[in-house]
Structure 1
Amino acid sequence: MAGATQETATARLARLLTMVPWLLNRQGIDVQQAADDLGVSVEQLEADLQLLFLCGYGQMPDELIEADWEGGKVFVGNADTIARPLRLGVDEAVTLMVGLRTLREVPGLDERDAVERALAKLEDAAGSAGAPASRVRAEVDDGTSAELLTRARQAIATRRRVHLRYLVPARDESTERDVDPMRVVGDDGRWYLEGWCHRAEDTRLFRMDRVEELTVLDVDGTPPEGARERDLADGTFRPGPDDLVVTVRLLPGATWIADYYPVESSTDVPAADGGGLTVQIRTADTAWLRRLVWRMGGRAVVLDPPEVVAEVVGGAGDALAAYPASAGEG
């Protein structure tokens, strides 16, 4: 459907885990009433119930959840496992306690009391079995100041627009932009501010360690109706339809680039041909890629497209020309 937004798998899973025990305790509830109470359309509820037929603790028919709503009333069965209170193993409890301790240290966290209460309950239930958690310390620290994180969270809570001065390393410049903030999220050891960027007229993720200045404006910061948070299950990088695909040969000693940067494809080069990898990298700006290739000192070579090859060769030539002829003489 045109204009429709696709729900993330994470959001749907959270709703299903809530919906199943709720329906188990309301057997025979009217379909329309159930949809209204759950805050979804009848069509969405029926789609969720159809999905439940494929869910369970095994693959046999008697191991899958049963759902019936053909008569206008909803009945759910064979889902007692989901309805029972969650029981954590020792490893699971320790992992959760470590996570809560890490969350407790997040700068500007508004829900610290709730985290403390949950942690206290877990520690009491785990007893001595939870002792290993006290010896583990995990941090999400990318150099972002606590003040910036606090200001960003306050802007979200009060629905205020923010003005950012944001560093774009690929162009080695700072940009000014107004953003309607949606959330602050941690991913892969970094903090990000996600919001509707009025400069790009789209949802954007901003690395907080690249925010040079954040000013909360006295302007309503409610994002447009069509703005949606990204599903970060596959990471923060999102290629654009107009991005350029660059083919790069990585010689031994430079193959780490394929692990550190998002590549679309990677092909091993036979040892007889020198070894290494041939990768394709999609990017909207080749400036950072050119600098990366120059830094590798010949261990990374751009093969395609021709215009990027020319940019790399030309830049390297200009750099060599900048050195006086006598610089290499003893």
Structure 2
Amino acid sequence: MSGRLSTRLSRLLNMVPYFLAHPGISAAEAADDLGVTTKQLMSDLNQLWMCGLPGYGPGDLIDLSFSEESIEVTFSAGMDRPLRLTSTEATALLVALRSLADLPGMVDPSAAHSAGAKIESAIAGVPAHAPAAPVARVEAPAVTAVRSALAGNRALRLVYYSASRDVVSERVVDPIRIVLVDNNSYLQAWCRQAEGVRLFRLDRIEEAVELPEPARPPSHATDEAAALDLFSGDSAVPLARLRIHPDYAWVLDQYPMQRIAAYPDGSVEATMRFATLDWMARLLLGFGSGVTVSGPPELVSAVRERSSAALEAYRALADTDLARPAIEEVGPA
């Protein structure tokens, strides 16, 4: 979850008890107390108005009477009472907390483990004042630096391993947020070297140093929907055109491909953006005859050349084996 979304969620959760304690307060006063603009507050109230308990009928949703002059909660849907979890709900929450703690950068692992320990204590009936077992902090220093830079709005110097190019590079970035893509957490940032938004997988950041200068990503780069795709739909990134055999249709689910046509024999034509020619050629060779490339020309040539080199290597190996003298095995006399 991004920092902006988590902040809004916390604000929404606190709004019901806040307005119950301040009935009839004006939007301007409430916005000032909550640290938001009046426009943002009214947007939050419209969102809150559609929240409530499962069932989500008129008697389950939070009900509000609000305008810029006066705001009042007319039905709290239980938000004014202490939370009581069933054993099933508590178990689900514990599993979610542990999953988050295992994903680099998504949350402070110490905070997640501490919350989990408190829930476990409550389930087991341990008094709330009982000391919790100490929790070891296992977060990588680079991930800690990334979270700190995001919280302080600071630029970062990264040493990063790129799996697609098999190289380690150093670059300065302006952090935007942490996102979750295919069960991996990434730092979304404006890369000053590439002059574009990039995703950096947190477990591949070898070193991160928080710089004393503020992060200044361009305004268009900070949009929530920006750059959640690994290649951002950037037209400058090469686009491969592929013909996929019916037996290899699974690759459409495993790789970021866009299907553009289907044929009577069951094969599918698709496109896929790639970072480097060498990486894409190696990927396609791994599919054998299951995936055929038709463009761009330089990728077709790279695949053809690598295929020819591989066949030649096999022929040379076969010739070597044939040239070896046969060894006659003689059994016991």
How far apart are residue 284 of structure 1 and its match? 5.2
RMSD: 4.1
Residue 28 of structure 2: aligned partner: 32
How far apart are residue 18 of structure 1 and its match? 2.9
* Equivalent-residue separation in structure 1 for 2:248 and 2:124 (angstroms): 48
1:42 maps to which of 25, 38, 42: 38
How does 1:16-31 map onto structure 2 within 5 Å? 16-31=12-27
Residue 192 of structure 1: aligned partner: 186
Letter in 2 for 1:240: G
Residue 298 of structure 1: aligned partner: 289
Distance 1:47 1:238, change over 3 A: farther
How far apart are residue 206 of structure 1 and its match? 1.0
Residue 94 of structure 1: aligned partner: 91
Distance 1:10 1:267, change over 3 A: farther
Residues 171-226 of structure 1: per-residue CA shift (max 9 Å, x gap): 44333311244566665453433434221334432123433x42526532434474
How far apart are residue 29 of structure 1 and its match? 0.4
List runs of 5+ in structure 2 lacking aligned partners: 126-137, 323-333
* Equivalent-residue separation in structure 1 for 2:99 and 2:13 (angstroms): 25
Q: Tell me whether 1:179 sits opposite 2:173 in the alignment.
A: yes
Q: Tell me whether 1:166 sits opposite 2:160 in the alignment.
A: yes
Residue 262 of structure 1: aligned partner: 256
TM value normalised by structure 1: 0.70
* Equivalent-residue separation in structure 2 for 1:56 and 1:195 (angstroms): 35
Counting matched residue pairs gives: 303
* Equivalent-residue separation in structure 1 for 2:211 and 2:195 (angstroms): 20
- More displaced 10-residue stretch of structure 1: 156-165 or 168-177: 156-165
Distance 1:266 1:77, change over 3 A: farther
How far apart are residue 94 of structure 1 and its match? 1.4
SS at match of 2:289: coil
SS at match of 1:82: coil
Residue 331 of structure 2: aligned partner: none
How far apart are residue 32 of structure 1 and its match? 0.4
Q: Tell me whether 1:307 sits opposite 2:297 in the alignment.
A: yes
Letter in 2 for 1:165: V
Maintained 8 Å contact 1:152/1:184? no
* Equivalent-residue separation in structure 2 for 1:229 and 1:153 (angstroms): 19
1:73 maps to which of 40, 47, 70: 70
* Equivalent-residue separation in structure 1 for 2:13 and 2:240 (angstroms): 43
Maintained 8 Å contact 1:162/1:221? no
Distance 1:264 1:43, change over 3 A: same
Larger Rg: 2
TM value normalised by structure 2: 0.70
Residue 132 of structure 1: aligned partner: none
How does 1:210-229 map onto structure 2 within 5 Å? 210-211=204-205, 213-214=206-207, 216=209, 219-224=212-217, 226=219, 228=222
How does 1:108-147 map onto structure 2 within 5 Å? 114-127=111-124, 146-147=140-141
* Equivalent-residue separation in structure 2 for 1:158 and 1:146 (angstroms): 18
SS at match of 2:78: helix
SS at match of 1:179: strand
* Equivalent-residue separation in structure 1 for 2:31 and 2:260 (angstroms): 47
Residues 97-156 of structure 1: per-residue CA shift (max 9 Å, x gap): 23445666788999565445423321222128xxxxxxxxxxxx9xxx934334545555
* Equivalent-residue separation in structure 1 for 2:181 and 2:303 (angstroms): 36
Letter in 2 for 1:250: I
Maintained 8 Å contact 2:285/2:303? no
SS at match of 1:264: strand
List runs of 5+ in structure 1 lacking aligned partners: 1-6, 129-140
How far apart are residue 33 of structure 1 and its match? 0.5
How far apart are residue 52 of structure 1 and its match? 4.1
Maintained 8 Å contact 2:63/2:74? yes
Maintained 8 Å contact 1:69/1:75? yes
Letter in 2 for 1:220: E
